[in-house]
Amino acid sequence: MATISDVARLAGLSVSTVSRVINKSPHVSDKKREAVESAMNELGYVPLPAARQLRGSRTNTMAVTIPRIVNPFFSYLVDAIEQELDEAGYSTLIVQTFGRAEEELTALNLLKNQQVDGVILCSLENDWSVINGYCKYGKIVLVNEYLKDVDVPIIRGDQYDGFYTATNFLFDNGYKKIAYATGRKTITIMKKESNFDADRFAGFQSSLSDHNLGFNYDWLFTNAHTAEDGKEIFKKIMTLKNKPDVVIAGSDEVAMGISQEAEKQGIKVPEQLGVLGVDDQPASANLRIPLTTIKQPVDEMGRKAARAMLGLINGEEVSKMQICKLKVIKRASA
């Protein structure tokens, strides 16, 4: 890439003259200005923003990965992150992973290529051993999804407690046969606090155990992301001999689909089938059957993640783990 010296050389002028043109100083003749501008054009030279010049080699740009932009939980999470970064003068590049390892590497390679100062990962698509290899190129922060024993700041919801409390809430409201839907293809059973999905399921199962119940594997629905997936889940439930009386839907979108399809087929929500969402999306309160849901503090999580990243960049002490509370929002669907 061309440097300011290359521009000066081609224009036949001093570096300080080039710098004055870049900084729009009035003390430059039109002729010199034109010579510098034409040299810059010829070389494809892009002046660094002033802040970057001051701070050294920083790009003042961050990357944020999210699995799906059309999932409002993630669009609001990235928006909170970006607002906080923006206040600190950073631009943000958003990378959608679609849950694929190679798209996460697209974001991590921005770090490796020094195109961004840091990457905030809102989900985890690669093994930690792979991601960890990128820590030497810049700063990494995890938000939402998490792992145990990693050396980067993590900002996460208390998934175990949230799902334990929510499942107890369903029992308290008279439900006994609780189905469980998740976006994942599989659920790995692990020690507590090791993993987002494992903790959600562990919270759910602990509540079942407290009520002397095991889990019925006919009531597990995996790979559920959209309202369409929710409709399919409802259809599958209808084919079961032993039907659940409530579904923990994994997201508000899936919950919305289950509830819509139930309504279409004349099954009453919440009387014949309860539906519990997760996320508390903006529309959830205003649906025909307002969603009972597990609210994640998305704005708080996003802002904390951005502040952790800014702290790392500025060489401050950053706490390794910040845990935000989930809570059940009671409405009509369960």
Residues that bind a second copy (CB under 8 A): 1, 44, 46, 61, 63, 68-70, 72, 75-76, 78-79, 82, 86, 91-96, 98, 103, 106, 109-110, 112-115, 137, 227, 253, 256, 260, 281-283, 286-288, 290
Closer to a second copy at the Cβ: 207 or 281? 281
Tell me the closest approach of the beta carbon of residue 281 to a second copy, in angstroms.
Answer: 8
Q: Which is nearer to a second copy, 214 or 266 (CB)?
A: 266
Q: What distance in Å separates the CA atoms of residue 198 and residue 111, rounded to the nearest whole number?
A: 29
The Cα 279–Cα 328 span in angstroms is: 10
Dist CA 173 CA 334 (whole Å):
8
State which residue, 235 or 288, has the beta carbon closest to a second copy. 288
Sign of the CA dihedral with 169 first, then 163, 235, and 292 last: positive
Nearest CA to 305 out of 61, 161, 122 is that of 122
Nearest approach, Cβ of 291 to a second copy (angstroms)? 10
> Looking at beta carbons only, is 109 or 222 nearer to a second copy?
109
Burial of 171 (0-12, 13-18, 19+ CB in 10 A): middle
The letter for the amino acid at 253 is: E
Residue 110's CB: how many other CB atoms inside 10 A? 23
Q: Which residues, 6 or more positions from 225, have their beta carbon under 8 angstroms from its beta carbon?
A: 68, 71, 183, 251, 253, 254
Shortest distance in whole angstroms from residue 94 CB to a second copy:
4
CB of 310 to a second copy, least distance (A): 18
In 10-143, DSSP assigns E strands to 61-66, 91-96, 118-121, 139-143
**Shortest distance in whole angstroms from residue 3 CB to a second copy:** 13
d(CA 1, CA 58): 16
Least distance CB 9 / a second copy (angstroms): 20
CA–CA separation, 304 and 150 (whole Å)? 18
Measured distance between the N- and C-terminal CA atoms of the chain, rounded to whole angstroms = 59
In the bound state with a second copy, the residue whose beta carbon lies nearer, of 290 and 311, is 290
Nearer to a second copy, 200 or 231 (CB): 231
Closest distance to a second copy from the beta carbon of 70 (Å): 5
CB of 93 to a second copy, least distance (A): 5
Please, which residue, 159 or 281, has the CB nearer to a second copy? 281
CA dihedral 113, 115, 119, 125 (to 10 degrees): -50
Query: Measured between alpha carbons, how far is residue 291 from residues 48, 103, 201, 321 in Å?
Result: 49, 33, 21, 31
Query: Shortest gap between Cβ of 61 and a second copy (angstroms)?
Result: 7
Task: Calculate helix-pair angle for 15-22, 30-43, nearest 10 degrees.
Answer: 90
Residue 198 or 289: the one with the smaller Cβ distance to a second copy is: 289
Nearer to a second copy, 29 or 286 (CB): 286
